[in-house]
Structure 1
Amino acid sequence: MRSISEARLHRAAEPGRLRVKRIRHTSTHVATLAICACVLLPILSLAYVALSGTAEDWPHLIANVLPGSSVTTLYLLALVATATSIVGVTGAWLVVTFDFPFRKSFAWALVLPLAVPPYLAAYAFGEFFHYTGPVQSLVRAIFGFDTIRDYWFPDIRSTPGTAFVLSCVLYPYVYLTTRIIFLMQGRNIADVARTLGATPSRVFWRVLLPVARPAIVAGVALVLMETINDIGAAEYLGVRTLTFSVYATWLNRGSLEGGAQIALLMLLLVFLLLAAELWARRRQRFHTGRATHMRARPPRVKLTGPRAAIAVLATGLPVLTGFGIPLFVFGQYASRRTDQFLSPELGDAFLHSVMTAMVTAVLTVGLALFLINAVRLCKSRSIAATVRLASVGYALPGGILGLGLLFALARFDNAIDGFARAHWGFSTGLLLTGSAAAVIIACSIRFLALAEGAIRSGMEKLPPNLDEAARSLGQTPGRSAAKILLPLLKPAIFTAAVLVFVDTIKELSATILLRPFGFNTLATYVYENASRGVPEDGAVAAILIILTALVPVILLSGALARDREGTPL
């Protein structure tokens, strides 16, 4: 079939030219609702199990579990929120406002800790700050101490220690959101304030910080959701959070209902964080100047002497702690265990991780493309709302999602087995429960919003009526999507697939609950070794996870190598 010329296509896509009859897409509506129902299924299943249980566990939970774990969780969240806000905002302000040695390098290197999952950071920090680790060994060598009783050293296995570990790898969320605001409008209004005689510190407190407050709140909300999702770091460092209590109540007390009830309390906390983020996004506004002004950027304030040294320390130290320490610890251990690269167990874990991540990426990107195309085809507010609701999975902690999905899949398998026994006389057994498919389903639900957001950002850069223009020239909806939209969206699709692939590689909480017996991924391989007290035996797997996670971080860092106005860093 003769291809449509680009000139005709763009002329047809101009506003006012296009007159395409609106088509009712009933099957698309039904499929979109089905996808949304699958995403919400774990939440509904969790609520059903929690409400169907008796209240016999509540005296024990109220007396022994909830008070301590709730206070610990809130204390941890407060510490992490404070630390990530300080580090992220300070780093963004320094690299945008001032000029100092290595500023260009630190501007993108501050993102590198995102490549380190929190549970890997906990294992690395636990070894680095251990009594036999390099830090305490250096302290004893300098001051001549002989035993731990001769001096005091902060305990990394504590709530403040856990907050320190999580803050070191999660602050980039705040740094990224704040830096974008400073680049898009902060530099211009800060220059106006300085021309009126304001000092840089006064400009920061009176001008930049109020402007960036919505972005800071949004970044901190993402940090806190990741903190709630964590199970590996908290368990390894001995901190009993609500997430840990869900596992303990279920596995130690054998109470599924009690674990589900605690999970619902956590879900309420997550929805409060989501409400805070939405509130921040509503108040966030961007005002860009004309292109001529965007090119004529005001110069950064040059720092010299002690001020430059402080700026280098403030931007370099987070990179060294959040990325350097894990890389140093696991790299050192891995160099002594090169034989593990040929280990059958590690090979199986790597193969399982890659296959699970690949299938999840393909499935998730396919669903995201369908949902985005459904919004474009139907142009219905109800469909748009349904698609947004289908993105709620990313806000669910992996443990809660895994627990709810486990209940749903178990009931599904039991229903199929009961039907087969009654009508065909044989047992089907467990089809999805405790299988790799369950892990893939959980990761697809959780990362659907990630893929949808990446592809939607690429879709928004295209002419709004491009696909309708193609159909007005004789193309069917399916053919216009395949021939016009998909080729133009290849970069966005690739980005979405890479992001989902890497996040699936790092996923731990849901995988622990749903994986089949003897099925290890790289994340669970490291977790099992750390649980046995030998995290060094999982060093090679940890290095593989970090190197894999570096792929999207490098892509993001490359984008940060240029200012948003087109001038070099």
Structure 2
Amino acid sequence: MLPVLALLWQAMRGSDGLWSHLAANVLPHAISQTVTLLAGVGVLVAVIGTGCAWLVTAYDFRGRRVLEWALLLPLSVPTYIVAYAYLDLLHPLGPVQGLVRAMLGYDSPREFRLPDIRSMTGAIILLSLVLYPYVYLPVRAMFMTQAANLVEVSRALGTTRGQVFRRVALPLARPAIAVGVSLALMETLNDIGASEFLGVRSLTISVYTTWVTRSDLPGAAQISLAMLVLVVALISFERWARRRQRYSTSAQRHRRFAPRRLRGGAGMIALGLGALPVVLGFLTPALFLATEAWRRFRFAGLSDSLIVEARNTFLLAAIATFAVLACGITVAYAARAFPRRGVLIAQRVATLGYAMPGTVLAIGILVVVAGLDRWIDSTAQRWFGVSTGLIFIGSGAALGYAYLARFLAISVGSVEAGFSRISQSYDHAARTLGKGVTGTLWQVHLPLSHGAIAAAGLLVFVDCMKELSATLLLRPLNFETLATHLYAEAARGTYEDAALAALAIVLVGLLPVMLLARVGRAADRT
């Protein structure tokens, strides 16, 4: 709660007369751009994610089993890396437009050029190609759990296969679609690199420029509160839309409906439609990054600065992951051991940070930590005559705090899922044998849930590596990570110099996707 309270306090201080300028010239355009971006991404990820989920669930064709897990691959590529890759690929002097001009007989970009990808349309398409797995994953799980008798009864009542999808499968999957779209929109709000690269002046970009360019912290806090209101509105609207929906199912084991076999041309069309998001959202940028990284490596090798940035990234992500896991285990086990109303409310409040965009969270933390640094420095000067400087901001502790607040929900959710598989009888037996609450955690719960804890650690580690918005605002001076290095090179237009850093982030990002695919295959077998 500290970042939110700090935002309120800082916003009420005013911004030295600049608030009227922000309200008149910055906020209307930024809110309009943000709402347009959210609406476009929301519609497109719902269409792509739901369509792909139905395709691989309701139909059987050659390549379907590969496609089931391959559709998750775009999750491994951060949005700002996809934007970075396509900006170079689709540049007027880039390979794609050069090939098109050669095929059409043109010699110069002045004679023919494709529409500029730096636009709202380009941002919506590229963000959707990366974020649709947030919808695909829960919707496919929902489709797979729908009993065969529902489909068979609807077919017996005269519905076609298309009507089965529209009138039976889609309404039942609506809660999963709503959850997936909400997650995708949260990631869209959190994005800072892709939006800036593609020329979209969103609220996130406005917060960053107001603080960094104008040095107006109260103004940045006021825009951050506007973003926070938008987040609350999104979550409230999603819950309001499902307020009267109920889902009931039989206690008997489900019998899945048999997918329809597609052969020949129909199978090839289905494979092509399913593979298109994978090719555009993962294969194309990944191959581009691999090619550019190899060229850069052959030309200049690994620079010392890149090695230092990789070390900073891994060290920071490892320390933050350890802290997030420790706090996640504490919060999840406290809710299990003491399931009182106050503890459960505290657990929910502790995990609210994931719903806050990284830029908003960073501004709130900046206010808190900077105030603490100033207090420590003034106290040290008054008592000992020594200036301590910026202890927390300068050491990177503020950035670790941001990672902890933002990704604690991932740790708590995964650890809680692991604890839920352990019967309460284990707790009772351990207490009967003389173990206290802490002893039961160390000797019973941690050994039995090490798989869930390891999975949580992997997800948190990769998210810390990819996080850009909070890292840009809270990193110490002269401290660069792979993500901030890529952002700086792309902002300067020197794309080839950032290819190695981008490829490293993508390769590490593949790890949780492989874990998700493995879990999905295990669920399919059961």
TM-score normalised to structure 1 length: 0.89
Partner residue in 2 for 1:183: 144
Call closer, same or farther: CA 1:224–1:455 in 2, change over 3 Å: same
- Distance in 1, Cα, partners of 2:204 & 2:149: 44
Call closer, same or farther: CA 1:90–1:272 in 2, change over 3 Å: same
Partner residue in 2 for 1:57: 18
The superposition leaves residues 335-394 of structure 1 with CA deviations (integer Å, 9 ceiling, x where unpaired) of 102256532111111111111111111111110111112112222111011101100011
Q: Out of 198, 208, 216, which is 2:177 matched to?
A: 216
Q: Out of 237, 251, 276, which is 1:317 matched to?
A: 276
Q: Out of 375, 384, 393, which is 1:433 matched to?
A: 393
Partner residue in 2 for 1:23: none
8 Å CA contact 2:148–2:258 kept in 1: the answer is no
Q: Which amino acid aligns with 2:234?
A: L
The answer to whether 1:366 aligns with 2:326 is yes
Give the 3-state SS of the residue equivalent to 2:521 in structure 1: coil
Identity among equivalent positions (%) equals 44
- Distance in 2, Cα, partners of 1:563 & 1:441: 35
Partner residue in 1 for 2:114: 153
Q: Which amino acid aligns with 1:318?
A: P
Q: Out of 251, 255, 259, which is 2:216 matched to?
A: 255
Alignment of 1:467-486 (within 5 A): 467-486=427-446
8 Å CA contact 2:46–2:177 kept in 1: the answer is yes
- Distance in 2, Cα, partners of 1:354 & 1:518: 17
- Distance in 2, Cα, partners of 1:162 & 1:404: 27
The answer to whether 1:285 aligns with 2:244 is no
Partner residue in 1 for 2:32: 71
C-alpha deviation, 1:321, in angstroms:
0.6
Call closer, same or farther: CA 1:289–1:94 in 2, change over 3 Å: farther
Give the 3-state SS of the residue equivalent to 1:169 in structure 2: helix
Call closer, same or farther: CA 1:139–1:318 in 2, change over 3 Å: same
8 Å CA contact 1:221–1:276 kept in 2: the answer is no
Partner residue in 1 for 2:494: 534
Q: Out of 85, 91, 100, which is 1:124 matched to?
A: 85
The answer to whether 1:102 aligns with 2:82 is no
The superposition leaves residues 523-546 of structure 1 with CA deviations (integer Å, 9 ceiling, x where unpaired) of 111111111111221111111101
8 Å CA contact 1:184–1:564 kept in 2: the answer is no
The superposition leaves residues 427-451 of structure 1 with CA deviations (integer Å, 9 ceiling, x where unpaired) of 2111102432221111011000000
- Distance in 2, Cα, partners of 1:215 & 1:367: 29
Superposition RMSD in Å = 1.7
TM-score normalised to structure 2 length: 0.96
C-alpha deviation, 1:401, in angstroms:
0.8
C-alpha deviation, 1:51, in angstroms:
1.1
Alignment of 1:141-540 (within 5 A): 141-151=102-112, 153-185=114-146, 187-279=148-240, 283=245, 285=247, 287=249, 290-291=252-253, 294=254, 296-338=255-297, 342-540=302-500
C-alpha deviation, 1:220, in angstroms:
0.6
C-alpha deviation, 1:279, in angstroms:
4.6
Give the 3-state SS of the residue equivalent to 2:146 in structure 1: helix
- Distance in 1, Cα, partners of 2:140 & 2:349: 29
- 5+ residue gaps in structure 1? 1-39
- Distance in 1, Cα, partners of 2:114 & 2:130: 22
- Distance in 2, Cα, partners of 1:133 & 1:561: 39
Q: Which amino acid aligns with 2:293?
A: A
- Distance in 2, Cα, partners of 1:332 & 1:118: 19
Call closer, same or farther: CA 1:281–1:341 in 2, change over 3 Å: farther
C-alpha deviation, 1:133, in angstroms:
2.4
8 Å CA contact 1:184–1:288 kept in 2: the answer is no
Q: Out of 515, 518, 521, which is 1:555 matched to?
A: 515
- Distance in 2, Cα, partners of 1:458 & 1:280: 31
C-alpha deviation, 1:253, in angstroms:
2.4
C-alpha deviation, 1:479, in angstroms:
1.5
Call closer, same or farther: CA 1:170–1:144 in 2, change over 3 Å: same
8 Å CA contact 1:214–1:284 kept in 2: the answer is no
- Distance in 2, Cα, partners of 1:565 & 1:210: 26
Partner residue in 2 for 1:543: 503
- Distance in 2, Cα, partners of 1:286 & 1:121: 40
- Distance in 1, Cα, partners of 2:442 & 2:51: 46
Q: Which moved more, 1:127-136 or 1:230-239?
A: 127-136
- Distance in 2, Cα, partners of 1:434 & 1:263: 23
- Distance in 1, Cα, partners of 2:333 & 2:160: 50
- Distance in 1, Cα, partners of 2:70 & 2:242: 26
The superposition leaves residues 288-315 of structure 1 with CA deviations (integer Å, 9 ceiling, x where unpaired) of 5523xx3x53321112344323211221
8 Å CA contact 2:41–2:125 kept in 1: the answer is yes
- Distance in 2, Cα, partners of 1:355 & 1:281: 42
Partner residue in 2 for 1:35: none
8 Å CA contact 2:147–2:256 kept in 1: the answer is no
- Distance in 2, Cα, partners of 1:96 & 1:215: 15
- Distance in 2, Cα, partners of 1:278 & 1:390: 20
- Distance in 2, Cα, partners of 1:83 & 1:43: 31
- Distance in 1, Cα, partners of 2:195 & 2:391: 32
- 5+ residue gaps in structure 2? none
C-alpha deviation, 1:562, in angstroms:
4.5
Partner residue in 2 for 1:7: none
- Distance in 2, Cα, partners of 1:63 & 1:298: 57
C-alpha deviation, 1:63, in angstroms:
2.5
Aligned pair count reads: 524
The superposition leaves residues 59-93 of structure 1 with CA deviations (integer Å, 9 ceiling, x where unpaired) of 21133211211111111111111111110000000
Give the 3-state SS of the residue equivalent to 1:560 in structure 2: helix
Give the 3-state SS of the residue equivalent to 2:359 in structure 1: helix
Call closer, same or farther: CA 1:261–1:144 in 2, change over 3 Å: same
- Distance in 1, Cα, partners of 2:86 & 2:347: 40
Call closer, same or farther: CA 1:562–1:374 in 2, change over 3 Å: closer
- Distance in 1, Cα, partners of 2:370 & 2:506: 34
8 Å CA contact 2:52–2:136 kept in 1: the answer is yes
- Distance in 2, Cα, partners of 1:119 & 1:447: 19
- Distance in 2, Cα, partners of 1:175 & 1:268: 27
Give the 3-state SS of the residue equivalent to 1:269 in structure 2: helix
